[in-house]
Amino acid sequence: NITLEYDLTEDQSVEMTISDLLGNTVKSFTKEFKLKGKNTETFDASNLANGIYLYNLKMKNSSYTGRIIHQ
């Protein structure tokens, strides 16, 4: 399993997608309302090949892209 943690400065809806380096979406989390503070998303990565993946976190007024190394 892979767990991603992120902090929110206010209560808001959040959407997260995980993609391979070619831009293919391998996991999409539905848009959910999250509370201010630390939040986590966990997903089963057992069906993913080892490698580097990107996650994109979309929030009300911003977005963030990070890297996951799956081994």
Tens digit of each residue's pLDDT (9 = 90 or more) over 47-70: 899 999 999 999 988 999 999 999
pLDDT given for residue 15 in this prediction? 95
Local confidence band at 71 (pLDDT 50, 70, 90 cut-offs): confident
Q: Write down the pTM of the prediction.
A: 0.81
> What contacts 56, CB < 8 A, 6 or more positions away?
16, 17, 18, 19, 63, 64, 65
Task: Tell me whether residue 53 is exposed, middle or buried, using C-beta atoms within 10 angstroms of its C-beta: 0 to 12, 13 to 18, 19 or more.
Answer: buried
Average pLDDT over residues 3-29: 93
Sort residue 51 into left (φ over 0), alpha (ψ -120 to 50) or beta. Answer: left
Distance CA 5, CA 64 (A): 12
Mean pLDDT across 12-38: 93
